[in-house]
Amino acid sequence: MPPSDFANADIDKIVDALTTDEAILLSAGVGFWHTHAIERLQIPAVKVSDGPNGIRGNHFFMGTPAKCLPSSTAMGATFDRDLLEEVGLKLLAREAKLRSASVILAPTCNIQRNPLGGRSFESFSEDPFLSGMLCSAYINGIQKGGIGATIKHFVGNDKEDDRTGYDSIHYRTTSSGDLSPSVHAGSRNMPLHGAIMTAYNRVNGIHVCENPELLQKILRDEWKSDVMIMSDWFGTYSVDVGLNAGLDLEMPGLNKWRSLESVNRSIQSRKVTAKKVKERARKVLELVKKCAQGAPEILDGDGLERTLDSDEDNALMRKFAAESIVLLKNDKKVLPLDRKSLKKVAIVGGNAKAAVLSGGGSAALKPSYFVARPAGLVKALKEVNPNIEVTYSEGARAAKTLPTLDFDLFTESGQRGWTGSWHAHENDDSLVALPTPIKTQYVDETRMFISSSSPAGITKKWTLRMKGYLKPRERDCKFEFGLTAAGRAKLFVDGKLVIDNWTRQRRGVEFFGCGSEEETGVVELKAGVKHEIYVDFCNVRGPADGDETETIMDSNPGIRLGGAEVEDPDELLNSAVSIAKDADAVIIVVGLNGDWETEGNDRTTLALPGRTDELVQKVVAANPRAVVVTQAGSAITMPWVDQVSSLLHTWYLGNATGDAIADVIFGNHNPSGKLSLTFPKRLEDVPAHGYFHSEKGKVTYAEGLYVGYKHYQHRNIEPLFAFGHGLSYTSFNISDLRLSQPIVSGDQFDLKATVKLTNTGNITGSQVVQLYIGLPKTSELTHPRWQLRGFKKMRDVKPGESREVELVMDRLSVSYWDKEWVVENGAYDVRVAFTSEEGVGEGQELLGRFNVEKGFGWRGL
Ligand code: BGC
């Protein structure tokens, strides 16, 4: 029988037939990415894969090249449900099939309480309504493609430091604030085909994976959800407590809590019943059945991972990336740049050449192709004027760790990359590597998160020796190397020890918190000379001050070799200023990367790295028409903002980065992105400032509902750029707000708002009409001044064209949480605009009001 026959399985019968041991096996994964198969009952395994900006496949190390989509904050900035659904169906579901995965570990829908959160880039927005709506569109697309989605992380994982330990202390927020992206997503989507992933943290004292209030009372009883609940990776912390609370699947299947021995012991000691374990197994079986129905070809396939890009996919990737770019300023209308009139263009900045395409952690993947920024810009310029001169200067270093050497090292035979030899040790406990390798392997990356990808049959402790060559092209130089290890490592250049990250180490944050600090060493390299680069790595961590234990990195070993020519920082900055002076257009590209913004740890500042701010100030002073392109998955501060007249924010854009940026800069694409989160003027203005860090394990959500723009409006703090802000190369007007009579019928609510949108400029453009609700002032509770409760992206409105825009409100649009959802009697204010910023003038915002006379309370979705 083909495995996909499970699509017709009688789950009741199979559950009856399961032995207790089989039920236990089903309740935990196998390896990193699979559920358990039971041959006796013809139960196939299904594979899951990260998520959320692409489908990485099984391996972090030498992974299968895949499409890297824009970060979720960029997706949020499109404010475009149709586009997200299209991307879910045409890109994500297909990519999942190419990787043989039936379930995607995405979307991430946590909330950016503070843009410092290491994974802020991975969630859609600071606003639960926008987040939930986009989440549901994304899931709909994936599900239409027959693939399951996983809403993660349920709930409260909105910071990274201490993520498995801290306790998110909520008061009014539990349902109305933090859970409500899930509410909004769920209400438009149930029954979800896929799963929910529990967050690592505690909520109100109890870890989510052990929390019956969240898993049973809210998710199962109140929301009537029948999805399978899985733990985050290594985020199961008990045997019986999780099983009783409702956690169906422990992931991954390494170092399991739910081993046959420990669950059986819990059953014998009556901590958990065999019936309960079968209940958990049933949910896993239901998911397997849905997977067999949704995409049978995956279960019947060969399980291999493939890469396939088509022109059509590339065009959608490029459009998607361009749609998310936000034009923050264009005071002097310098943008779009007119390519025909340019003779000399300077490209400046630490992010201009760097291969930055996604945030770090489980969202990162190996891209199937990458259009770098200069490549995209130069291609677009030369299309119009082949003789144009383009100059470049890095200007200021922006990297947290030295850049990887993926494109600098080469092998003995001249191929890009280096060669690794895997050595077993004398025995599992020995630190002595055997001389003959058990495998040699070509490797094309120098950040190698090996995770569980060591060769089969290797001893528990093992050694990997990497060898390659480096040849400076242009000049003799001093070259600085950086070596980080989750394990221990040494770097030798031409046979000489340059870095010892082995004998004593400093614990760092790389590789999900398992890596060392980066150790560095400088070597003189000769132009045209082939220098031998050799790294000796062992998967056992060395002793460090305060931690003398030599732990085996069994699931997280990794090595990172980086490097760059040593530059004099003043000379570097001056060279940028001098080419800017000399050019008739300057494009400054600055920002962060996946080392600064990553799973595993939070940022400590919103400022751009090193001397980046000074670079922008000096280059703009030298050439005031310079265009600034910022890149970050979340908010950054911009002390130079008043000096700059043209400013684009470009998130992390994935494979199509360079093309998408060029499309907007040169006007092939009229920007329509809107900020999915507020950019504050200073860190101290952020809502969760002072309440963000885990203090002895406690994180108090003291800002309550006042997250993002709600906080800035409540306290009258002017942000740098408001939520929902984003300009266009054309201009728009709205008029004629009409509100229908609200209809209350039982516990349902219906009201339509219509406005007229007119393109008053000279070129075609898209605009997002945003509807904010102000709850009745007569309420006994204090509410945010305005809350986004409706939006619509109007695409390609022609110059002079007017369109009627209809925004439908349901009960969730007018509700707040107070032990249940409440629609209160009273007067509701309505504000329709193109941004959350108030007082933007005539034709840019409309105000209205409606009354609810017969309010009601409701629960569920
Ligand atoms: C992350 C999850 C991810 C999982 C598998 C965890 O570290 O928190 O979001 O899906 O790893 O990679």
| DSSP, residue by residue, 41-73 | GTB---BEE--SSS---S-STTPPPBPPPPPHH
Mutate which of 56, 161, 233 for ligand 1 pocket (most atoms within 8 A of beta carbon): 233
420 Cβ neighbours under 8 A, 6+ residues apart: 440, 441, 442, 443, 464, 465, 466, 467
Confidence of residue 861 (pLDDT cuts 50, 70, 90): confident
Check pLDDT > 60 for residue 67.
yes
The residue to which tokens 């330990």 are assigned: 165
Compute the distance between CA of residue 361 and CA of residue 118 in angstroms, rounded to an integer: 9
Which three-class secondary structure state does DSSP give residue 451?
coil
Segment 584-601 shows an average pLDDT of 96
CA-CA-CA-CA torsion sign (611, 613, 615, 621):
negative
For residue 200, which atom of ligand 1 is closest to its CA? 8
Compute the distance between CA of residue 272 and CA of residue 240 in angstroms, rounded to an integer: 6
CB 163 within 8 A of CB 200: yes
Segment 160-170 shows an average pLDDT of 89
CA of 119 to the centre of ligand 1 (A): 11
264 Cβ neighbours under 8 A, 6+ residues apart: 20, 21, 24
Question: How much is the pLDDT for 190?
Answer: 52
Nearest CA to ligand 1 atom 3: 362
Number of helices followed by number of strands (H, E) in the chain? 20, 36
Compute the distance between CA of residue 35 and CA of residue 32 in angstroms, rounded to an integer: 9
Check pLDDT > 50 for residue 783.
yes
Check pLDDT > 60 for residue 506.
yes
CB of 650 closer than 6 A to ligand 1? Answer: no
**Residue type (1 letter), 306:** R
Check pLDDT > 80 for residue 216.
yes
Question: How much is the pLDDT for 473?
Answer: 80
CB of 152 closer than 6 A to ligand 1? Answer: yes
State pLDDT tens for residues 515-541.
999 999 999 999 999 999 999 999 999
Question: How much is the pLDDT for 185?
Answer: 63
> In the sheet where 48-49 sits, what is the strand order?
48-49, 103-104, 148-154, 195-198, 228-230
Residues facing residue 516 across a β-bridge: 507
Check pLDDT > 70 for residue 853.
yes
CB 478 within 8 A of CB 566: yes
By CB atoms closer than 10 A (0-12, 13-18, 19+), residue 76 is buried
Check pLDDT > 70 for residue 502.
yes
CB of 122 closer than 6 A to ligand 1? Answer: no
If you average pLDDT over every residue of the chain, what do you get? Answer: 95
State pLDDT tens for residues 404-463.
999 999 999 999 999 999 999 999 999 999 999 999 999 999 999 998 899 999 999 999
Of 200-209, 568-577, 661-670, 811-820, the least confident: 811-820
CB of 339 closer than 6 A to ligand 1? Answer: no
Compute the distance between CA of residue 74 and CA of residue 838 in angstroms, rounded to an integer: 23
Active-site annotation holds for 232? yes
Compute the distance between CA of residue 668 and CA of residue 672 in angstroms, rounded to an integer: 13
Question: How much is the pLDDT for 471?
Answer: 95
CB of 510 closer than 6 A to ligand 1? Answer: no
Check pLDDT > 80 for residue 104.
yes
Check pLDDT > 50 for residue 395.
yes
Question: How much is the pLDDT for 112?
Answer: 92
Confidence of residue 171 (pLDDT cuts 50, 70, 90): low
CB of 163 closer than 6 A to ligand 1? Answer: no
Segment 565-581 shows an average pLDDT of 96
pTM value > 0.85: yes
State pLDDT tens for residues 830-841.
999 999 999 999
Segment 342-360 shows an average pLDDT of 94
As given in the structure block, the two tokens for residue 327 are 């034009």
Beta-strand pair 439-443/447-449 = unpaired
CA-CA-CA-CA torsion sign (338, 339, 341, 346):
positive
As given in the structure block, the two tokens for residue 381 are 């310029």
Segment 31-59 shows an average pLDDT of 97
Question: HEC states along 736-774?
Answer: EEEECCCEEECCEEEEEEEEEEEECCCCCEEEEEEEEEE
- Considering just the CA atoms, what is the radius of gyration of the chain in Å? 27
CB of 362 closer than 6 A to ligand 1? Answer: yes
**Residue type (1 letter), 330:** N
Check pLDDT > 90 for residue 807.
yes
As given in the structure block, the two tokens for residue 487 are 């394990």
As given in the structure block, the two tokens for residue 434 are 């055997």
**Residue type (1 letter), 516:** S
Question: How much is the pLDDT for 188?
Answer: 61
As given in the structure block, the two tokens for residue 752 are 């339509």
State pLDDT tens for residues 264-282.
999 999 999 999 999 999 9
Measure the CA angle with vertex 521, ends 597 and 365; round to 5°. Answer: 30
The residue to which tokens 């409706």 are assigned: 790
Check pLDDT > 50 for residue 382.
yes
Kindly state the percentage of the chain with pLDDT values over 70. Answer: 97
The residue to which tokens 């963000």 are assigned: 692
Check pLDDT > 70 for residue 224.
yes
Check pLDDT > 80 for residue 132.
yes
Confidence of residue 372 (pLDDT cuts 50, 70, 90): confident
State pLDDT tens for residues 290-342.
999 999 999 999 999 999 999 999 999 999 999 999 999 999 999 999 999 99
Of 8-12, 177-181, 774-778, 848-852, the least confident: 177-181
Angle between helices 569-581 and 612-622 (to 10 degrees): 30
Compute the distance between CA of residue 309 and CA of residue 315 in angstroms, rounded to an integer: 10
Question: How much is the pLDDT for 225?
Answer: 87
Other Cβ atoms less than 10 A from the Cβ of 479: the count is 21
Largest Cα span, the chain = 83
Mutate which of 362, 451, 514 for ligand 1 pocket (most atoms within 8 A of beta carbon): 362
Mutate which of 32, 48, 49, 50 for ligand 1 pocket (most atoms within 8 A of beta carbon): 50
For residue 150, which atom of ligand 1 is closest to its CA? 10
Question: How much is the pLDDT for 363?
Answer: 96
Nearest CA to ligand 1 atom 2: 232
CA of 234 to the centre of ligand 1 (A): 9
As given in the structure block, the two tokens for residue 661 are 């940026």
Kindly state the percentage of the chain with pLDDT values over 90. Answer: 87
Question: How much is the pLDDT for 818?
Answer: 84
Check pLDDT > 70 for residue 191.
no
Beta strands in 172-218 (DSSP E): 195-198, 202-203, 206-207
Nearest CA to ligand 1 atom 7: 233
Question: How much is the pLDDT for 375?
Answer: 87
Nearest CA to ligand 1 atom 4: 233
**Residue type (1 letter), 861:** L
CB of 105 closer than 6 A to ligand 1? Answer: yes
Catalytic residue among 158, 232, 536, 595: 232
**Which domains does the chain carry?**
3-299 (3.20.20.300), 313-397+568-677 (3.40.50.1700), 409-565 (2.60.120.260), 732-858 (2.60.40.10)
Question: HSE-up of 526 (CA within 13 Å, CB side)?
Answer: 6
Compute the distance between CA of residue 836 and CA of residue 509 in angstroms, rounded to an integer: 37
Omega before 799 cis (within 30°)?
no
Question: How much is the pLDDT for 184?
Answer: 65
Compute the distance between CA of residue 33 and CA of residue 39 in angstroms, rounded to an integer: 18
State pLDDT tens for residues 727-750.
999 999 999 999 999 999 999 999
Segment 742-770 shows an average pLDDT of 97
Compute the distance between CA of residue 316 and CA of residue 86 in angstroms, rounded to an integer: 9
Compute the distance between CA of residue 74 and CA of residue 70 in angstroms, rounded to an integer: 6
Please tell me which residue, 245 or 190, carries the higher pLDDT value. 245
CB of 32 closer than 6 A to ligand 1? Answer: no
Check pLDDT > 90 for residue 637.
yes
782 Cβ neighbours under 8 A, 6+ residues apart: none
CB of 449 closer than 6 A to ligand 1? Answer: no
Check pLDDT > 60 for residue 177.
no
CA-CA-CA-CA torsion sign (318, 319, 321, 322):
positive
User: What are the two backbone dihedrals, phi and then psi, of residue 579, each rounded to the nearest 5 degrees?
Assistant: -70, -30
